[in-house]
Structure formats: C-alpha cells, structure tokens
Amino acid sequence: MEKLVRKNIESLVAYKVDAPQYDIVVNANESPFDFPMQLKRKFCDDICNTDLNRYPEACFPELLAELTGYTGVPQEGIICGSGSDELIAMINQAFVDPGDVVVSHTPSFAMYDIWATISNAKHIMVDDLPGHIPDVDGLIAAACDTQAKILYICNPNNPTGYIFDQDDIIKMLDAVPSLVVLDEAYIEFFGESNVDLLAKYPRLLILRTLSKAFGLAGIRCGYALGNKDVIDILYKVKGPYNLNVLTQKLAVIALKNRTEILRNLEILKAERLKAIAVLEALPGITVFPSGSNFIYFETTKAEAIFEALLKKNILIKRFAESQSNPGSIRFSMGKPQENQKILEIIKEVVYNEA
C-alpha cells in the first residue's frame, strides 16, 4: 500500500474526531443554540413532500436565490459546498498545481495547510507580529516574491479572533498576483463583510458558511461569493450533486427565517464582551480582542485549565506551547450559564495554581 499512496499524503493525520460526549462543548466554534423546533418541523414536512429517490438539484437554484437575497451577490457569483471545507478543497483542485505556492497568516484555520499538503503545494505561513497583529506587509512580500497562487485571509481569524482593516485587505488585493481567498466564516459575529470589494476585485473570493452564526454545522453548507469568472472555474471541479437534498431544503428554510435565527448573535456578542472582561482581570492571562464567537487567550496555565475543565466534562480547544507561544486556549461562547461555569473554573485554576 505504501508504494501506491501519494508521498505527500503519507505525513497527513486523518481527521477522525470522537462524537462529543461532554456536558459542554465549546471547542469547535459552533453555536450553542439548536435550530428552532418549529423550523425543524417545517423541514420534516418539506422532506415528506420530496422525492428522495431523485438526485438533488445539482446547482441548488432555490438556495442560490436565498443567498442572493442574504448577501446581495448575484446568483452567477455564488457556489455552494458541503461546508466551506469542501470549497477550500475545490479551490485547491481548480487553482493549485504541485509545487505552486499558497500563502496564509499563522496561526489560522488548519484546512488551508491540509489542502496545500494534499495538493503538494508549498505553503508559506507568515507569522503574526508580536501581540497577534497580522503581518500585512509580510503577507504581501511572501505572495509577490513567490507569485503565490492563493493568499488566504481569515477574517475574523480563527483562532485569534482578530480583524483585518478593509484598508489592509485592499492593500493586499492591489499588491498581490494571487487569488485572494477571504474566509468570512465568522463574519456575522463582527458585522462588517468585505463583500462590497467584489465589484472592484475580480481575483477576490469570499468564503462563508451556515455552520457558525446560523447554528447549522450539522448540515454541512458553505458558499463562496465571487466574480462570475472565478465561480465558473469552481463549478468545473464541483462534484455533480455535492449538496444533498436535505441540506438544500434546510439551508433554504434557515435563510428564509434568518431574522429569527440571527437574533442569537446579540446574545453571543454580549457573552463575548462579558467573558473578555472577566478574563482580562485575571493575572497571567493575555486575552486578545475578538470579532468572532470565540475568545483566544495565552497563558502558561493552558494545560491546567484544559484539564480542570475536562474533569468537569467541558471541552475547550487547547493549542500546544511553542517557542513564541506559552500555551493558548480558544473557546466559543456557549449559553450564558455555560460561560459562567467555564469562567469560574478558569478563575479557580488561575488563583489556586498561582
């Protein structure tokens, strides 16, 4: 088997995660709020009236119409994927040849690197400046010097939560020769999309998802917004029926009822502010500003905090220490009582282990 597998796949670790068996799960930046019951019932009715023996719509026309209503981007400038994960795969399939360069800032979303590895591309990861400030000039230099095919900008960034100023995004778009993939998976938590830049920049592609603010990680629905030319290229590599009929139906219901669903954003944003204030008051913790539904902080007590929470059946995300990082934690906002419990446990660890 070793002789058959592509060399660059050998080093990859399979993404096999256990089903969450915890009382509180805040490690994957999901919404803590389930989809409203009356909308689930509407979905069941729709499914009862759907022929499941037929393939789904290959190009999801109803969903595109709803996405146009939500984003303002014409249907010809939108393509959907089984999560934005699949869109990242499609971007690689369409644009990245073995040996090509892709550039991203780091730390950021792991799938950019995984797909670069699968594509046998060279991935240049530009370190943040001290204090987790994205190195915009460093990114421009890396993309220009190597004629990079792709420049990823994650905004708000996962895991640090930082936001790129629109001026910096424009500076990068003006300078680099690459396809600029702006990942807006968490944009609803910040509130200001850069979708207006699509009109001027044909090499800009924006990734979005229903997994986060819409609370629909379970249905796997992401979408990309771009210029018709770029979207047409992505359609060439799209699998014939990549969005199953259940996903398409539920996504349409979600978008039609977005005012109700997105009301949860206000709760989560208020929780984020409260949690940041609590953490900022703790000694030995450096909290970073977040435009997202999660908070990222650095501390030498990351392992103790992770273990203490795990003992109480709470799962957060811990990042291992490195030379530039004493250890760090990211957790997404749960329901208010859940956040309170998490913060109390963090406080206990910080004071007891002082």
Question: Least Å distance between CB 222 and ligand PLP?
Answer: 4
According to the binding rule CB under 6 A, does residue 222 interact with ligand PLP? yes
Q: How far apart are CA 309 and CA 174, in angstroms?
A: 45
Q: Looking at 85, 100, 271, 298, which residue binds ligand PLP (CB under 6 A)?
A: 85
According to the binding rule CB under 6 A, does residue 248 interact with ligand PLP? no
According to the binding rule CB under 6 A, does residue 264 interact with ligand PLP? no
> Which residues are CB-neighbours of 268 under 8 A, at least 6 positions away?
31, 32, 189, 293, 333
Question: Least Å distance between CB 207 and ligand PLP?
Answer: 6
3-state helix, strand, coil in the chain (%, to 5): 45, 15, 40
Question: Least Å distance between CB 354 and ligand PLP?
Answer: 33
Joined together, the tokens standing for residue 176 give 């680099």
- Asked whether the beta carbons of 103 and 146 are under 8 A apart, the reply is yes
According to the binding rule CB under 6 A, does residue 152 interact with ligand PLP? no
Residues 192-211, interacting with ligand PLP (CB under 6 A): 209, 211
Question: Least Å distance between CB 221 and ligand PLP?
Answer: 7
Q: How far apart are CA 223 and CA 219, in angstroms?
A: 13
According to the binding rule CB under 6 A, does residue 79 interact with ligand PLP? no
Q: Helix, strand, or coil here: 123?
A: strand
Q: Which segment (17-25, 80-88, 248-256, 258-266) binds ligand PLP by CB under 6 A?
A: 80-88
Nearer to ligand PLP, 77 or 215 (CB): 215
According to the binding rule CB under 6 A, does residue 71 interact with ligand PLP? no
- Asked whether the beta carbons of 329 and 29 are under 8 A apart, the reply is no
Q: How far apart are CA 68 and CA 60, in angstroms?
A: 12
Question: Least Å distance between CB 326 and ligand PLP?
Answer: 23
By DSSP bridging, strand 294-298 and strand 286-287 are antiparallel
**Binding-site size, ligand PLP (CB under 6 A):** 13
- Tracing tokens 């029926």 back to the chain, one arrives at 241
Interface residues with ligand PLP (CB under 6 A)? 29, 83-85, 109, 154, 158, 183, 185, 209, 211, 217, 222
